[in-house]
Structure 1
Amino acid sequence: MATQSVSAVSLIPTIHDTNPIPSSSAAFGTPVHPLRRKQTSDATTPSILPISLPVATLRPLAFRTFTKKHDLTLTSSALQIITTFVGTHCGSGWREEGLAEKVLDEAAKAWKKNASSVIIPGEGSELADILQNIARCMVGGRIVHQRAPSRHDNPVQDQGYSNALLARPGGLSRDDSQQSLGLTSLDIEDNDEDLRAQSPRPWLRVVDAFDQPRLTYNATQKMFEVVRKRASLLPDPSSRLALLRDRYNIVHQRLMRNEAFQTSAVALSHSKSLQRSSSELVMPQQAYKLTPIANLLGRSGSTHVLLGLLGTSPTGDLILSDLTGSIALDLHHARPVPEDGAWFTPGMIVLAEGLYEEEGSVAGPGLAGDGGVGGTIGGIFHVASVGGPPCERREVTLGVTDTGKGSNTVAAGGFGWTDFLGVGSERANGSMMRNLENKVLGKHHLAVRTQGRSRVVILGEINLDNSKTLAALKQVLGVYALEEAEQTPMAFVLIGNFTRYAVLAGGGSGGSIEYKEYFDSLASVLSDHPTMLEDSTFIFVPGDNDPWASAFSAGATAVLPKRGLPEMYTSRVKRAFATANSEAKRPTNQKLGGEAIWSTNPSRLTMFGPSQEMVIFRDDLSGRLRRKALRFEAVAEPGFPDATADRAPIDGRDATSQEHVEIDGAIESAESLVPNARGQETTPTGIPSDLHAARKLVKTMLDQGYLSPFPLTDRPVLWDFGGSLSLYPLPTALVLMDPEAPPFALTYEGCHAMNPGPLVAQGKRGVAQWIEYDTRTRKGKMRDVRF
């Protein structure tokens, strides 16, 4: 214990020093006796103090910029507006740091692009709109252009004040679209005829796991911050502790924003007496209250609700850990909520409600702790019910208006200013991007002959070492080749494993030479359909059997996230795209051709900035969950204290109805697209077993808000890049490619989850199956064809 305490204390300076929670949990790397450290603020965003700038002082600089450089003429009223803007947004550094010159230059470029007159008047809204767009893209008085995020230089600005107002793709080449976009290209012309002719594909962007912004949640200020520390594949141990702390803090703050954990002021006013209003009985709603594990000391015999990370102690006992300590669990009388509706495994963050018993009355080895604050709290916690933390809808997280059928129309306290993916924050340009999406994909704007362009084709388990897979892939591509050129899907997502066995590890799929030959065969199949290579984006997501991870894991569990396929194996496929683009006959103003993107696992697709987000993940989730899941013996015995008797369930639904607890209204109203063959087995509630398994998997993953809710010893994660596995906020679409799970497409809490299954359907001879996702309706459907 002494050695463990010293090691924990030594890590304090490298962890969140501003965390006010006195933590003593070994699972989160906090000391037995927390040290009071002076809180230091790492001010990453320079503040600007507005000044009163005289017009005569700025006139020479404005004359050089507007008149001599851009041949424009400023009126007196326009100069007054610009001077006020510079003094407000640039402050005292307008001259020494050159802030004003950059603002004036961008304003002049924007005026020349959008206006035909060489005289800039102060009246009207043209100049005001230009300055407003510039203000959105300023951080600390500086204009920050969007650029392609790199692994070491994060594009997200402090507090998520995003400048990523995407440019119109019509005038950008593919190379230009991946480089810095100036403010002059931020304005989107409201030309319905032009937008109607546009394809939605230029607004598609792929964000891989290593280019995704690295954010951490500050529990003190209740906001996300950019991690300035340089990422490393071999970081110090504090990165592992920070990864676990972030997972816990995000779930904790998400739970505190849930209505079931908030006490209503109206309910408190009626707590002493009941009143009748409009023939309805007004009764107080008893809310849940979380208890830190350290606060259990001295409260034997009382019931509590705990939020913590499930784990196992060195003696093999099941424990629950939070930021204040750990406690041994007794699950003999526990019941899951909902019944058989979700998986519970070590490594998950769960809610446990039950009775705490002091260590003096506990018998049995390995259950008692040291009896003090630090390590495992003495005693045992008898769990009556255990459930996952309810997830939060994307609209609530981002704090935008909910256009659905929910009762809450506006979400309070959202993270609308946070740029989670480096494509722009919701508050900065979300409204503009949704309007643009409606113009490009709307029913009244998108022509009928081009509605097929909004589709994304998702194919899973492309085993190139299997001749049936190549035949099935050729047949699937042939289905879309028969359609008109304007109906070609904008993207094809090909998900591994690309071989049935681990390559470079002595497996049955051969070595490096054979692996390259597999992709040469794929290039031959793709070359037979040049139309799709000219007008579509092909995205390749690797699996555990693909290099380079398989060279070390030999097909076993590999570290997440995984990098894309090495370039040495994909040269022939790239050559096929280059040949198709060079031979394509397209108008001179259309420069965007087909391309192949070798992304990571997991990978994310964004459409129209923050408007749509799709997460693609390849893993054998179902098998791992079945192997690691906890078994609950039976429902609580009669007479055992049921702490939930006087409360509504955490998700606000009737706990006696397993049908409603397992899934929410979004799933009930969504059209289930799981193939239901005749004679398929059903659960005791009458639900087909495949549909039940799909719902169980989706609810588990989205409630956890993490793609790998397992111990790091079972599913290794790169500590500095663990944030790329987060599902917060919920994406609009989630692809869980799991060959052991049944194919499905269903909706849970506004997130449409899909599993295309293997391309060569199991149990069906000569049948290829895949999912076709429509970005207009944000729904996917299963498709199949015989080959």
Structure 2
Amino acid sequence: MEPTSTPRHTDRLKATDPIPSSSPAFGTPARPFRMPKTYAPPTKTSILPILLPPSTLRPVAFRTFTRKHNLTISSPALQILAVFVGKNCGSGWREEGLAEKVLDETLEGSMSGGRVVAGKTTSSDGSSKVSGMGADVGRIDLNKDHSQGSLTSRAAGAEEDESQISTHPRNWLKVIEAFDLPRLTYNVDKKYFEAVKSKPTLFPPPSHKTALFRDRYNLVYQRLLRNESFQSSFSIAGIPSLQRSSSNIATQQSYKLTPIANLLGRSGTSHLLLGLLATSPTGDLSLVDLTGTVALDLSHARMIPEDGAWFAPGMIVLVDGIYEEEEMVKGSILGGNTGVGGAIGGHFVGVSICGPPCERRDISLGTGNRQGSGELSSSGGFGWVDFLGIGSERAQGTRMRRIQEKCLQSEPEATEATPPRLKLAVMSEINLDNMRTLDALRKVFSSYNDLALHERPQTFVLIGNFVQRAVINGGGRAGSIEYKEYFDSLAVVLSEFPALLQHSTFVFVPGDNDPWASAFSAGAASSIPRQPIPELFTSRVRRAFATANSELDRSQTSEPAGEAVWTSNPARLSWFGPVHDIAIFRDDISGRLRRSAIDTKADEDESDTTMHEALENDTVSMEPEPTEQVNGNRNDAVSPAALMARRLVKSVLDQGTISPFPLTMRPVLWDHSSAVQLYPLPTALVLADSEATPFCMTYEGCHVMNPGRLLPEGGLQNVRWVEYDVLRNRGKVREERY
């Protein structure tokens, strides 16, 4: 990274709302921008093998407690920790990294629900026990408590005695609305996520709009710097190389990003830029980062990978090319000077363009195995951050996995020949105003109703649009009365299968044509996240579940009653806390990408793509067959439908958001923009796109599924849906005739 020598903003300027000038897309103030400094190698200091002064241990404690876990430690607690580390780690507390590892693992075992529990620690087998070190750590003071929360009231009440917890898996299923997700923002200085303290509103100040894109850029930027291709590979005496042994890049070169403002006076030189694709008022394409804007020429650029992803305005991309100055440029008086809106003179000629490399979930959370060993990494990642409001991976992950194993072993039908299953049935574009839809749903429900109880899906996800045209907009065929009658008809079909209503959870996700947003959008893309369907239209469906549950005696079982959950779009499904995170989003995103994507006409022989190919080979892992399934068929990787599915998945997951578009194309509520983020990657993503072919494939450990349309176009009497196995993290497209 090329740092600049500009001073830091004063506290007085930070307290006010700065006027966007340097880079209007990100709201950068009209002051010189200071890029974050890279980490310097640790310096050697004198080490006491037994007696360790608290002042010597303070830097390590600061990195472990404050920077990593966002905690503060008092002086008495630091003194106790120094005695403990000096006594138990000896002279290897610094060189071998024993101090940081001990502090991190001890703190993890002593925390519960985001708070340090005095006298509580965790042994290697996962069981809780009391120790003197746990009591000492209990003296640490928390001044910020936003990263952990209670899983459910049942889990909080049974924290001390896991023998009293419920052993039915559906008790640990939670549907999380987008408006209930924690509102987190990435702090560049602390390199950590912080909770937004302001109350969300539909009419926030304009600064929240620029903060939306600035947070998205900061997330991609920090993710990119954590990639080994952008880390220095050097080896000094006593300091190991920063390059991992598993790297696929043979060269020891690390790639540097150049801020756009640093292009001034460097005409004819090649650079690698990270910025937001944007369209200028004149209609020309430009690239924007936190320091400025430059005109972009992609007429000679090559896309990496070739036809492997879409690049549209609103996306953050990596562009490799050459900067050329001009004497007179629109928006600039002289070439090389900063003009209106932070635009610098000249233009940047792109040689190649690619998306930022994706990051696996375990790497983002810092829970991946260290160099293939079974030992978990004790540094890096955001494992203590509660992204869903149900408990973080570090705080709840180990306990939830024990509970999951206990629940699965308690299943009476579970044997070695028939292992326990947790399945979801996902259906999309369920147009209830089409009479064929009810027959198709009856076919799907009857196919599962005939199965044994342990073979049925425990959750059915029904995704809109529930009508073919927008409701209550003056020009559609459905009004409020007709819309309610459609759900009344669905209630009649559901009442025919009381066994499913008694033992399953039904989740309903709205589309753009469903009320109330469609009353104002007339079927166009409404703002996201959007509220669930109002109870006004769903009373008959709820009554069907109440009637079915009243016919079953549950006094002898711990199984919860079947229920219908009406949630937002997008939404999250959490099973066993942070162990299984399933994101659901309904949007015709592939069609929007095809309409807005940029097109380059570069000859492959004219571009040098060595850097991008190395970066792609090091980070991209679209898993091979048979984990991919497109249009219900396996071994279909060369078909156009499979290539388009891969292109869609890579375009979305690389951006780390489910809405990589300008707000004019896909409106997003500014104060709820964190709900559309895909960082860290969920374990599974249901991307319901009615314009794309149904598919199931895995990319960087995230399994992406598109159930497509429930009734395929073409007049065939077929019904399509996706069946997802939660434990195996694999889905398959199912198709039957009705």
Task: Give the TM-score normalised by structure 2.
Answer: 0.79
Residue 177 of structure 2 contacts residue 568 of structure 2 at CA under 8 Å; is this kept in 1?
Answer: yes
Q: Which amino acid aligns with 1:371?
A: N
Q: SS in structure 1 opposite 2:577?
A: coil
1:216 aligns with 2:185: yes
Q: Which amino acid aligns with 2:645?
A: A
Q: SS in structure 2 opposite 1:752?
A: strand
Within 5 A, what are the aligned runs for 1:654-693? Answer: 664-675=620-631, 687-693=638-644
Percent identical residues? 50
| Gap change, CA 1:523 and 1:14, over 3 Å in 2 | farther
Pick one of 616, 641, 650 that aligns with 1:651: 616
Pick one of 619, 637, 652 that aligns with 1:701: 652
Aligned to 1:779: 730
Distance 2:172 2:217 in 1: 34
Distance 1:566 1:452 in 2: 36
Distance 2:372 2:469 in 1: 47
Once the two structures are superposed, what CA deviation does each residue of 1:309-352 show, in whole Å capped at 9, x if it has no partner?
00011111100000000000011100100000000000000000
Once the two structures are superposed, what CA deviation does each residue of 1:568-588 show, in whole Å capped at 9, x if it has no partner?
111111111111111112234
1:496 aligns with 2:464: yes
Q: SS in structure 2 opposite 1:497?
A: coil
Q: SS in structure 2 opposite 1:27?
A: coil
Residue 264 of structure 2 contacts residue 336 of structure 2 at CA under 8 Å; is this kept in 1?
Answer: no
Shift, 1:220, TM fit: 0.7
Shift, 1:541, TM fit: 0.3
Distance 1:345 1:268 in 2: 46
Aligned to 2:671: 720
| Gap change, CA 1:547 and 1:652, over 3 Å in 2 | same
Aligned to 1:73: none
Pick one of 158, 161, 178 that aligns with 2:145: 158
Shift, 1:445, TM fit: 9.3
Q: SS in structure 2 opposite 1:472?
A: helix
Q: SS in structure 1 opposite 2:617?
A: coil
Residue 370 of structure 2 contacts residue 377 of structure 2 at CA under 8 Å; is this kept in 1?
Answer: no
Residue 581 of structure 2 contacts residue 684 of structure 2 at CA under 8 Å; is this kept in 1?
Answer: yes
Within 5 A, what are the aligned runs for 1:151-550? Answer: 158=145, 160=147, 162-164=148-150, 166=151, 177=154, 182=156, 184-187=157-160, 189=162, 198-266=167-235, 284-360=251-327, 371-372=337-338, 375-402=342-369, 410=377, 412-441=379-408, 447-448=414-415, 454-550=422-518
Pick one of 531, 535, 551 that aligns with 2:519: 551
1:746 aligns with 2:712: no
Range moving further from structure 2, 523-532 or 341-350: 523-532
Distance 2:384 2:639 in 1: 42
Shift, 1:615, TM fit: 0.4
Distance 2:456 2:174 in 1: 18
Distance 1:344 1:777 in 2: 32
Aligned to 2:558: 590
| Gap change, CA 1:665 and 1:11, over 3 Å in 2 | same
Aligned to 2:89: none
1:561 aligns with 2:512: no
Distance 1:284 1:46 in 2: 39
Pick one of 571, 577, 593 that aligns with 2:539: 571
Residue 656 of structure 2 contacts residue 679 of structure 2 at CA under 8 Å; is this kept in 1?
Answer: yes
Q: SS in structure 2 opposite 1:573?
A: helix
| Gap change, CA 1:442 and 1:554, over 3 Å in 2 | same
Aligned to 2:94: none
Once the two structures are superposed, what CA deviation does each residue of 1:413-453 show, in whole Å capped at 9, x if it has no partner?
10111110011111112122223323434799971498675
Q: Which amino acid aligns with 1:332?
A: S
Once the two structures are superposed, what CA deviation does each residue of 1:182-218 show, in whole Å capped at 9, x if it has no partner?
4x51135369xx98xx332111111110000000000
Shift, 1:128, TM fit: 1.4
Once the two structures are superposed, what CA deviation does each residue of 1:74-132 show, in whole Å capped at 9, x if it has no partner?
xxxxxxxxxxx9xxx99xxxxxxxxx9x989xx9xx9xxxxxxxxxxxxxx97618996
Distance 1:721 1:129 in 2: 42
Q: SS in structure 2 opposite 1:692?
A: helix
Q: SS in structure 2 opposite 1:762?
A: coil
Distance 1:516 1:404 in 2: 57
Shift, 1:358, TM fit: 1.3
| Gap change, CA 1:486 and 1:24, over 3 Å in 2 | same
Residue 310 of structure 1 contacts residue 348 of structure 1 at CA under 8 Å; is this kept in 2?
Answer: yes
Residue 393 of structure 2 contacts residue 578 of structure 2 at CA under 8 Å; is this kept in 1?
Answer: yes
Distance 1:570 1:286 in 2: 60
| Gap change, CA 1:443 and 1:580, over 3 Å in 2 | closer
Pick one of 127, 130, 139 that aligns with 1:128: 130
Distance 2:371 2:717 in 1: 41
Residue 200 of structure 1 contacts residue 453 of structure 1 at CA under 8 Å; is this kept in 2?
Answer: no
Q: SS in structure 1 opposite 2:442?
A: helix
Residue 401 of structure 1 contacts residue 411 of structure 1 at CA under 8 Å; is this kept in 2?
Answer: no
How many residues are aligned here? 644
Distance 2:390 2:627 in 1: 31
Shift, 1:47, TM fit: 4.8
Shift, 1:239, TM fit: 0.8
| Gap change, CA 1:51 and 1:367, over 3 Å in 2 | closer
| Gap change, CA 1:450 and 1:233, over 3 Å in 2 | farther
Shift, 1:567, TM fit: 0.9
Q: Which amino acid aligns with 2:24?
A: A
| Gap change, CA 1:716 and 1:665, over 3 Å in 2 | closer
| Gap change, CA 1:363 and 1:485, over 3 Å in 2 | closer
1:632 aligns with 2:605: no
Q: RMSD of the TM alignment (CA)?
A: 3.9
Shift, 1:233, TM fit: 1.0
Larger radius of gyration: 1
Structure 1 unaligned blocks of 5 or more: 1-9, 53-84, 91-99, 111-124, 143-156, 168-175, 270-281, 654-660
Distance 1:349 1:415 in 2: 22
Q: Which amino acid aligns with 1:501?
A: R
Distance 2:467 2:709 in 1: 12
Distance 1:365 1:375 in 2: 9
Once the two structures are superposed, what CA deviation does each residue of 1:707-756 show, in whole Å capped at 9, x if it has no partner?
00000011100000010000000000000000100100000000000000
Distance 1:295 1:133 in 2: 52
Q: Which amino acid aligns with 2:570?
A: P
Distance 1:375 1:769 in 2: 51
Distance 1:744 1:598 in 2: 25
Q: SS in structure 2 opposite 1:254?
A: helix
| Gap change, CA 1:773 and 1:14, over 3 Å in 2 | farther
Q: SS in structure 2 opposite 1:24?
A: strand
| Gap change, CA 1:444 and 1:584, over 3 Å in 2 | closer
